[in-house]
Amino acid sequence: MTQKIIILDFGSQTTQLIGRRVRELDTFCEIMPYNKFPKDDPSVIGVILSGSPYSVHDPEAFKVDLSQFVGKIPVLGICYGAQFISHTLGGKVEKADSREYGRANLQTVDTTNPLFKGFEQHSQVWMSHGDTITAIPDDFKVIGSTADVTNAAFASVNQPVWAVQFHPEVFHTLQGTQLLKNFVVDICGSKQEWSAASFVDSTVAELKEQLGSDRVILGLSGGVDSSVAAVLLNKAIGNNLTCIFVDHGMLRKNEFTQVMEDYKVLGLNVIGVDASEKFFSDLAGVTDPEQKRKIIGRDFVEVFNAEAKKITDAKWLAQGTIYPDRIESLNITGKVIKSHHNVGGLPKEMHLQLCEPLKWLFKDEVRRVGRQLGMPEHLITRHPFPGPGLAVRILGDITPEKVRILQDADDIYVRGLRDYKVKLSGEEARKVLAAGVPADMKDGMIEVSLYDQIWQAGAILLSTVRSVGVMGDERTYEHPVALRAVTSTDAMTADWAHLPYDFMAKVSNEIINKVRGVNRVCYDISSKPPATIEWE
């Protein structure tokens, strides 16, 4: 029986980050709505209560019955979770004089307490709360304080309950991983048996049992999720897997040919379908972003289904759905707030069962599994790419010529990111290594490409705009291109990447000189929120 930590989600933006940190400790975890704690599950070895946008005093604040697990298994409350524990068990939570947000240092740490084993005094932590705990319950004791927060961390004297008002899951809390390891491994007793190797072994065995000799169809996109799912299924059922890769004409430059070659090297049985003419025809004159998405989605289903129906003995449809796809599709009240392309069921006419071999994995875990399966690094580290492709990176209507312009500009940009090397140390190096990027540490530094340092990058064609320029003493009137690059951990929030000026100058110059139809390059410095990663 697989051990697991349950993370109860009270709506924090960093709940998924808690899950990823626990998984990095080779321990399986599930993120569940605050009111869905699984009763009578012997595999649960500990509970973590997340932060929340609410105050414990708000009428609509989320509440949970602590008696379900307090005193039975170890509990760790984080931020709102800590305040809820204190408020519920007899402590006092009050509005702080000023919002406690940002870096702080633990002035006093009880390193004899198992939660702080191996901690240094004055260790940096990250605060983010408007309320503060002014009194802890009677049977608790303070085990950590900052200059401004007396009850920064506290623990029950009689029961396995711990609480911290800071966020150990974020990188700004420098010993946050140590704290979570102390809780998950030492306190909860995790055997740390969850790893890429163990996942591959157990999943392949499960797929063999689940699918038997049945034929399976998988839609490939060229992205890391569907590619890893394909290789995993191929390892389990071999030629009983048939993959379909649809080219809608809005992939990156030469991507269809390159990806088909990659899949051939991997030994996958792939049917490549060039349907670009149909997509361009149906998109002609359409400028509304949502309508463009719907047309592409509809056409993709039609083309994919037409190919799938030719495989008359297929019984399963496989998808590269990953864990964040499923978490994002529901808010914590259980109401659908976002429909995801991998979540929502199958077309009824297909009469196929659904197989999702990656449904428990985070993106960084998918990449680790890909490496375990021996996949080429350029496939594993490929940035997320929107399903509609470059159609949502072209403002205005879609034409083959506009796609050609954007493909050329994007190719120069992405190749430049891959070629430009940077040296990182300290927190920046830790972030990259934690994401699973292979890099050798030398003298406390690593060298990686800009591409591997950021979450997602791409060029956007402002085809509804023309700007004046001068080339060869002649006046030009052509399109601007905007470059986008963001750093993120899960795409729920993202910050613009601070790319080196010399890199930006070189790429801008190369795009303007080599891409016919472009005479100006801009850089998008918007964060998410309020902007989104894609422009449409």
> Which residues are known catalytic residues?
79, 167, 169
Task: Tell me the C-alpha distance between 82 and 428, whole Å.
Answer: 29
Tokens read off for 24: 């990095």
Task: Tell me the C-alpha distance between 89 and 488, whole Å.
Answer: 36
DSSP letters, 363-407, are HHHHHHHHHHTT--HHHHTPPP--TTGGGGGBSS---HHHHHHHH
C-alpha atoms less than 13 angstroms from C-alpha of 463 in its C-beta half-sphere = 23
CA dihedral 163, 168, 173, 178 (to 10 degrees): 100
Task: Tell me the C-alpha distance between 496 and 503, whole Å.
Answer: 15
Helix segments in 196-249, DSSP class H? 196-211, 224-237
List the one residue out of 511, 505, 419 whose CA is nearest residue 461: 511
CB count in 10 Å sphere of residue 301:
15
Q: What residue type is assigned to position 157 of the chain?
A: V
The per-residue b/e assignment along 512-536, b for 16 or more CB within 10 angstroms, e otherwise, is beebebbbbbeebeeebeeeebbbb
CA dihedral 477, 288, 219, 384 (to 10 degrees): 60
DSSP 65: -
The radius of gyration computed from the CA coordinates of the chain, to the nearest angstrom, equals 25
Sign of torsion, CA 282 286 289 294? negative
**Do 364 and 20 meet the contact criterion of CB atoms below 8 Å apart?**
yes
Tokens read off for 200: 């591959």
Task: Tell me the C-alpha distance between 386 and 393, whole Å.
Answer: 9
Helix segments in 238-272, DSSP class H? 255-265
DSSP-based three-state secondary structure for 70:
coil
Tokens read off for 218: 């998988």
DSSP-based three-state secondary structure for 160:
coil
- Burial class from Cβ neighbours inside 10 Å (0-12, 13-18, 19+) for residue 284 reads exposed
Task: Tell me the C-alpha distance between 309 and 353, whole Å.
Answer: 14
Sign of torsion, CA 49 55 61 67? positive
List the one residue out of 361, 362, 500, 364 whose CA is nearest residue 438: 364
Cis peptide before 38 (omega within 30 of 0): no
Tokens read off for 296: 């592409």
